[in-house]
Structure 1
Amino acid sequence: MRSILVLAAHPDDEVLGCGGTLAKLADEGATIHVAFLADGVFSREGDAGVQQAELTARRAAAQKACDILGVKSVFFGEFPDNRMDTIALLDIIKPIEALIARYHPDTVFTHHAGDVNVDHRRTHEAIVTACRPQCGHPVKTVLCFEVPSSTEWQLPGSAPVFSPNWFVDISNTLDRKLAALNAYAAELHAWPHPRSLQGVLHLAHWRGATVGVDAAEAFILGRQLA
């Protein structure tokens, strides 16, 4: 049985980046674990009480979304939101290594190196080290996803371009991706923001059209050992 680990900076990144793929893999019998590294809330305005309430609500939304997608377990880290660049890289790598040791995933999904969001970039950087191809390491495939309102907002020449070379047909699971995204209603914006239901739907159909299917999610293959 396949074991999949999603390492995302914030709750909702997993749905935006690979929700349809996760639902498809779950249907195929894979065991899926999702880990969020940062709290996703405490960089926002508001007093401690409001922020704590938002954290509780967002974690509940994450659990609901992951249940819809068929995820087996959800882990919540506590790195500071939008401040992971203030944390020593080794301190980010260590809990990732612990998750890999616990779940023995053959495949890891994570962020693109060129995202605008600093937590996304820091997560990617830590995973490069945690998934280095040592003898006996369980991770054989590393795939980097795109997150609307981060990946496409980078300026030309400022970071690596998201140029996908791996696509997953999610024509039959797009509805579950959107249902999971609805669990994060508080995080969505109105169209034409890219992190709106319409924006996510349009992106799925566009990625599908580029490879001849109705809907797809796009990735950059970081490494694969066959």
Structure 2
Amino acid sequence: MTIDWSRERILIFAPHPDDETLGCGGLMSKAKEAGAQVYIQFLTVGDTKDHSPKGVSTATERFGEIKEVADFYRWDDWHIAFPGDEYHLRLDAVPRFDLANAIENDSPLSIAEIAPTVVVAPHRSSYNQDHQVTAEAVHTALRPSNARLRHHPRIVLAYEEAADQWRYGEAASPDLLVELDDRHIDAKIAAMRLYGTQVHDHPHTRSEQTLRSLATLRGMQAGVVAAEGFHAMRIVA
């Protein structure tokens, strides 16, 4: 199938700042290049202990990084639904009702407010609890119903990240591959560099080599130079 990205209004759900770039940085570059609208709904951000020399990345630092990445990609808007250490890496303690309502109706970038034609969210197979509950809450918010009463995006996708395969049992392979050119992958890498507190040297799931390798693998599977893989939850032609 061929998607005319110039006509799409895309709403991407990211549990944390950088997930949108890791999962669909190439797609964002391709879509904005074509003229699409792109909105990013982050779920949470807070201070995070890490393996950097400083040992922590602060919410203030990450807000600054978001602004740089937003300018780089020319997002139409972005928002954080549950900011602060009370929620960061603790979204599994938030009632599903509250998460789904924020996603569906209550956030300034909710599905009801933006009326997106395309929704993209993380895949449930992630080991990260914030990713899991975000995926499930988006799934709930997009439940089938009367499209005359509730907005139904034509396309609903789940993006993958390199570490999603780290789980018990077999993780399903993506069933939708979006072809990308080298410039789209270069843009993805450049955006990740702007997330300076989150990017790492190889071997790491957020290293440049990992991102390029996954794009090359998905491209090979599609017979093209590069691609990003997605799980199709709904496609209405």
> TM-score surpassing 0.5?
yes
Give the letter aligned to residue 158 of structure 2: C
Partner Cα distance (2:152, 2:143) in 1: 10
* Partner deviation per Cα, 1:196-224 (whole Å, 9 max, x = no partner): 11111111111111111111100000111
Q: What SS class does the counterpart of residue 187 from structure 1 fall into?
A: coil
> Which residue pairs with 1:146 in the alignment?
160
Shift of 1:126: 0.5
Distance, in Å, in 1 between the alignment partners of 2:144 and 2:8 is 18
Match of 1:181 in 2: 192
How do 1:44-63 residues align onto structure 2 when only pairs under 5 Å count? Answer: 44=49, 54-63=58-67
Residues 1-226 of structure 1 correspond to what in structure 2 (within 5 A)?
A: 1-39=7-45, 41-42=46-47, 44=49, 54-78=58-82, 80-98=87-105, 99-134=110-145, 135-136=147-148, 137-149=151-163, 151-156=164-169, 161-171=171-181, 172-226=183-237
Kindly provide the amino acid, as one letter, of the partner of residue 166 in structure 1: L
Contact 1:8 1:36 in 2 (8 A): yes
Quote the Cα distance in structure 2 between the aligned partners of 1:131 and 1:63. Answer: 28
**Aligned partners of 1:70 and 1:86: how far apart in 2?**
33
Question: Mind listing any 5+ residue stretches in structure 2 that lack a counterpart?
Answer: 1-6
1:114 positional shift? 1.1
Offset of 1:43 from its aligned partner?
5.1
C-alpha separation in 2, matches of 1:153 and 1:202: 17
Distance (Å, rounded) in 2 between the aligned partners of 1:148 and 1:70: 25
Cα deviation, 1:37-65, whole Å, max 9, x if unaligned, reads: 011x34537xxxx97x7111112212222
- Secondary structure at the residue paired with 1:186? coil
Q: Is residue 156–residue 233 contact of structure 2 (8 Å, CA) maintained in 1? A: yes
Same amino acid, percent of matched pairs: 33
> Are 2:125 and 2:165, in contact at CA under 8 Å, matched by a contact in 1?
no
The count of corresponding residues between Structure 1 and Structure 2 is 216
Misfit runs of 4+, over 6 Å? none
CA distance in 2, matches of 1:169, 1:189: 26
- TM-score by length of structure 2 reads 0.85
Paired with 1:186 and 1:195, the residues of 2 have a C-alpha distance of: 11
